[in-house]
Amino acid sequence: MLFKEVPKNLDFPEMEHEIAGFWQKNDIIAKYLDKNKGKKKWSFQDGPITANNPMGVHHAWGRSYKDMFQRYKTMKGFEQRYQNGFDCQGLWVEVEVEKELGFKSKKDIEKYGIDKFVQKCRDRVHKYSMVQTESSVRIGMWMDWGEWKTSMDDKDWMKKSHSYYTMSEVNNYTIWHFLKKCHERGFIYEGVDVMPWCARCGTAISDMEIATEGYQELTHKGVIVRFEIIGRENEFFLVWTTTPWTLTSNTGVAVHPTLTYVKVKNNGVIYYLAKALVNVLKGEYKILQELPGKDLLGLIYKCPFNYLPAQKDVIHKVIPWEDITESEGTGIVHIAPGCGKEDFALGKEFDLKTIAPLDELGIYLPGFDWLSGKDVKDVAQPIIEDLDKRGLLYNVEDYTHRYPVCWRCNSELIFRLVDEWFISMNTLRHEIAESAKQVERWIPSYGLAHELDWLKNMADWCISKKRYWGLALPIWKCKCGHFTIIGSKEELQQRAVEGWDEFAGNSPHRPWIDRIKIKCEKCGKLTMRIPDVGNPWLDAGIVPFSTIRPPDDMHTLDNGYPYDKTYWQEWFPADLISESLPGQFRNWFYVILTMSTVLEKKPPFKVLQGYASLHDEHGEEMHKSKGNAIWSDDAAEKVGADIMRWMFAKHNPVQNLNFGYGPAKEIKRVLLTLWNVYSFFITYAEIDQFNPVNKKISESNLRKLDKWILSKLNSLIEQCDKAYDNFDLTSVVKISEKFFEDLSNWYIRRSRKRFWKSENDIDKEAAYLVLYECLVKLIRIIAPIMPFFCEHMYQNLVKNLDQNAPESVHFCDFPEPDSKRINPTLEQEISMTRTIVSLGRAARNKANMKIRQPLASMTINVPGECPGLSDDAKHTILEELNIKTVKAIGTDALSQVYMFSAVPIFDKIGPKFAKSVNKVGQWIKSLSHEKIEQLINAGSLKGTVHGETIAISKEDIEIRKIEVPGASVMIQGDYGVSIDTKLTQDLEYEGLIRELIHKTQLMRKEANFNLTDRIKIFYQTDEKLKDAITDNLDYLKSETLALEANEGLQTGEIEKTLDINGIQAKITLQRVSTET
């Protein structure tokens, strides 16, 4: 056996497991990683995946891109780092561990012990990084994984894995270095701000984190409250809010200075509100006065909760605010600077008092009377009742709006005044924008505009989190107010006055790091580290600096940035990053640009390739809670990794991808075309014992068809190379699929007889060699996209025969196109031939003439500039269409098959002929072809209708072309085909015989005869078919392998009554001999 037999229908997952076994057994991945050592470098920077859960199909999408780009560059001979990265620290891991342990709040964590909790977080990362590595390998992602199946109590597991981990010492200390640089430029400050806050997690949620799923449609109480104006009797502001709990901290109201407000009398009371919003009033009202908002400025009022101790001595003012809209509420906006972001900013600007009512778990602080100690979640209704009791409630209604929720635990966020640490973006934002502009290419190109928009609008970066598992912010703050930022482990050791011994040997995490005390530079007192941990985007943002270090020594502090930049410089900046678009402009892209700008004043990547979101097959977002999420492993086992990868690559990355098993089936069908080609080749090459080793394609033996497919093949190589180089996988897939189609539906279909014939001549060998060439080149083109499938074919087609060939298709170079083979003229000729054939089929379809019925002749119309049809092309067309001759070919060949007919345009002839219009219309319809030609040539035509002479012009009629009887015509552009549908007796008889042969073959199959069994045919039918059989007896016998065909009835293996083009025929088949 030359080749391994291949199954007719490919089971992708099964094949992939077999190939994965082969790779493992022969250490293929390691050899692949080594292949280009010492050659020119191409640098890919992996954005870390959070090692917190199994991989979803959305991860598989992105990771497939990363793998495909790197594989292509490997085939092009570049040395790469193949470094994968895991994101480890942050709230998302904590939340999962809390769930595991059944914790409800931060108190549970403190009770459990921070050290144990942190260890649990570490373990989770360890576990899921292994799970994700396995899933990545399953989908064919070849990275430098190192040793990754480590036991949970292996202390060195992180070193054994070659992936980077953002919780590593190296990563954390490099962030310290960055923060110190920021501090040296004065960017770091501790600020008070109102932040979105999750009371369950007990932490601020940064702007960056309120992502798409950070909002939910929620219903709250919208209340309208009366604010009594001081110094004006019986006059009130009407103020609307959806967060009654914030009324306790109200210190002002805002009006739009130029909008029109009204003073109205309603139920005997005077109210103020925006004119456009008077429909909120209940009952009758009378407008007493219209006034611009600015006329209300300077008034003071009684806050509804002025009895609370926290409100003591507060003056409540009216202030201007231009962002007020007339779309909802009352146009007078309640301002609580301690409970809202804009409120806080306005409060600062207009010197309002700030009252912060809640502690970090959302409980009212002392000073709020009956509310103190109550949970903010539970106070809306009591507050409304309290207001009502005191006569201050004007109205209350349900109000549904999009409201921010915690993106991890789904709790409603509140806005809370907090002390957090920030990096100021005042000057930095411009520098980052400059870096962004230096990026060579954003794919898609709108990326730069998008990033710049974010940079223009973003707030200062809040880097602190009041949590446990994360970067220990290296900030030691003294009671005197001074703070110190430590930039490295070394510096920490030098500065440590207490606690170093306890800390040494641990990673720079809580709680160990918190033991260390240093001396305040200013007052000399011992100071503690602030308890906050870092925002996790610090962790991911530093990786262009912290992770580019010698792969055999990833964890030594001083052999990489910033101590020893030798290795780092060879790989920085990255040639490519590839990540999901929607969130990353304000996340990863933003933070790596920021950190790189501070550290190196330039962008850390040259090209960014981004992609949209993955949805389910109905276009819905995937959520675990919704039940429509799909794990990568499940998808791989169900449809196969290569099918997923092909689907991913085919998709336009800017669009959301709808992933599902339905779409996967479509992909499989396309790939089965290629599989069928391969399986066809194997089947026949095996029969003929065709061995391509040491054989070369000889130009002189090639047919036109061979030259054509070789031209297509080399165009394909050229175009795919270009597309890959452009990171445009969509094009690679689309033009490859077109090639599968050309190869299968034209090259093989037209070449079948060459493979079937019994003699092994040079023509047959040429066909084998050409098909072989196409297959082995093709698999090298698409190997980066379908590593398993291509490996399978490679092993069977190449390695199986040639021990000197590279061990794996993934060690092969990307094919070089042979431009001499590319022949556009030939490609055009075949394309023309195929167009004509398809028109011929359409014409047959229209006339209801199946291919089996031979026809006498056809006429072909071709465009003027076309060089005419070669004999070869003509022959192909006739054979494909089962037609005897071509009657005419030319630019005007179809003129004879059409007749003109005219249809009156009544709009035109109506006014001309008034009452006789119907008669004229009939006359027009009856005009002959020749008369219409006259009309066309002369522009007008005279005639007699009911004794009257009339004249019509060209414009009065619509000219239609109709086919002459006996022809069926199809036109497409300048191409046209007319087939002669008239049947002579010979043609009819031949058609009958072919129908009979076809049905006899079906009977042979049904009777389970072997392909080579000889038979006898007995028939009983009418005269016409009998004549037809007599006339074509030899043909019938040779096609059906019949020794005899006789009239009469006999018993046999199978007997049937057939319908042969409407003629009944009783047929019996007898088997005469059988070969085994």
* Shortest CB 766 distance to RNA, Å: 18
Query: Per rule CB under 7 A, is residue 842 in the interface with RNA?
Result: yes
With binding defined as CB under 7 A, does residue 504 bind RNA? no
Q: Is 891 in the site for RNA (CB under 7 A)?
A: no
Chosen residue from 852, 874, 919, 1024 binding RNA by CB under 7 A: 852
Residues 309-348 binding RNA (CB under 7 A) are 323, 342
Spatial distance between the Cα atoms of 468 and 484, rounded to a whole number of angstroms: 21
Q: Should residue 759 be labelled a site residue for RNA when binding is judged by CB under 7 A? A: no
Helix (H) or strand (E) holding 397: strand 393-404
Q: What is the residue type of 221?
A: K
How far apart CA 834 and CA 590 sit, in angstroms, is 52
Neighbours of 911 (CB within 10 A): 9
Residue 1005 in the binding site for RNA (CB under 7 A): yes
Distances (CA, A) of 703 to 398, 762, 773: 79, 11, 15
Query: Shortest distance, CB of residue 680 to RNA, whole angstroms?
Result: 5
486: tokens are 């430590």
Which stretches within 212-328 are classed as H helix? none
Piece of the chain touching RNA by CB under 7 A; list 305-313, 626-634, 672-680, 895-903: 672-680
Q: Site mask, RNA, residues 440-469, x = CB under 7 A? A: ------x--xx--xx--xxx----------
d(CA 466, CA 803): 62
Binders of RNA among residues 555 to 594 (CB under 7 A) are 582-583, 585-586
Cα separations in angstroms, 301 against 12, 88, 251, 291? 75, 52, 10, 18
Token reading at 315: 């003056």
Q: Which is nearer to RNA, 165 or 442 (CB)?
A: 442
> Among residues 635 and 664, whose Cβ is nearest to RNA?
664
Binding to RNA (CB under 7 A) within 954-973 occurs at 970-973
Contact call for residue 745 and RNA (CB under 7 A): yes
Does position 741 bind RNA by CB under 7 A?
Answer: yes
- CB contact at 8 A, 296 and 263: no
Q: Does 1034 bind RNA (CB under 7 A)?
A: no
Closest CA to 630 of 651, 650, 644: 644
Q: 942 - beta bridge partners?
A: 951
DSSP-based three-state secondary structure for 858: strand
CA distances from 903 to 643, 845, 952, 957 (A): 55, 27, 12, 6
- Determine the Cα–Cα distance for residues 956 and 959; give it in Å rounded to an integer: 10
* Alpha carbons 563 and 544: distance in angstroms, whole number: 15
Token pair, residue 1062, equals 């409407």
Span of 55-63, 207-215, 601-609, 710-718 interacting with RNA by CB under 7 A: 207-215
**735 lies in the binding site for RNA (CB under 7 A):** no
Q: Tell me, what DSSP letter sits at residue 728?
A: -
Between residues 72 and 454, which has the closer beta carbon with respect to RNA? 454
Burial of 217 (0-12, 13-18, 19+ CB in 10 A): exposed
Exposure of 1053 by Cβ count < 10 A (0-12 exposed, 13-18 middle, 19+ buried)?
middle
Q: Which stretch binds RNA (CB under 7 A): 290-298, 361-369, 638-646, 653-661?
A: 653-661
Closest approach of RNA to the CB of residue 264, in Å: 26
Measured distance CA(322)–CA(350) in Å, rounded: 14
Establish if 652 lies at the interface with RNA (CB under 7 A). yes
Residue 1075 in the binding site for RNA (CB under 7 A): no
Q: Are 654 and 446 in contact (CB under 8 A)?
A: no
Query: Whole-number minimum distance, CB 1075 to RNA, in Å?
Result: 13
Amino acid at the residue 1039: E
Question: Minimum Å distance from CB 834 to RNA?
Answer: 9
Exactly one of 263, 519, 734, 1024 binds RNA (CB under 7 A); that residue is: 734
Q: Is 748 in the site for RNA (CB under 7 A)?
A: yes
- State yes or no: residue 697 binds RNA (CB under 7 A): no
Question: What is the distance of C-alpha 590 from the center of its chain?
Answer: 21
Q: Which stretch binds RNA (CB under 7 A): 478-486, 532-540, 699-707, 1001-1009?
A: 1001-1009
Question: What length does the chain have?
Answer: 1076
Q: Does 1011 bind RNA (CB under 7 A)?
A: yes
Q: How far is the CB of 641 from RNA (least distance, A)?
A: 21
Does 197 contact RNA by CB under 7 A?
no
Nearer Cβ to RNA, position 941 or 1065? 1065
Segment interacting with RNA (CB under 7 A) among 54-62, 210-218, 467-475, 549-557 = 210-218
Q: How many residues sit in the footprint of RNA (CB under 7 A)?
A: 64
Give the nearest distance from C-beta 464 to RNA in angstroms: 18
Asked if 261 contacts 274 with a C-beta cutoff of 8 angstroms, the reply is: yes
672 binds RNA (CB under 7 A): yes
Q: How far is the CB of 972 from RNA (least distance, A)?
A: 5
| Residue 354 or 676 having the CB closest to RNA | 676
- Cβ atoms 1005, 1056 nearer than 8 A: no
Residues of this chain that bind RNA (CB under 7 A) = 8-9, 207-208, 210-212, 323, 342, 446, 449-450, 453-454, 457-459, 582-583, 585-586, 619, 652, 654-656, 658, 666, 669, 672-673, 676-677, 679-680, 683, 734, 741, 744-745, 748-749, 752, 756, 838, 841-842, 845-846, 850-852, 863, 970-975, 998, 1001-1002, 1005, 1011
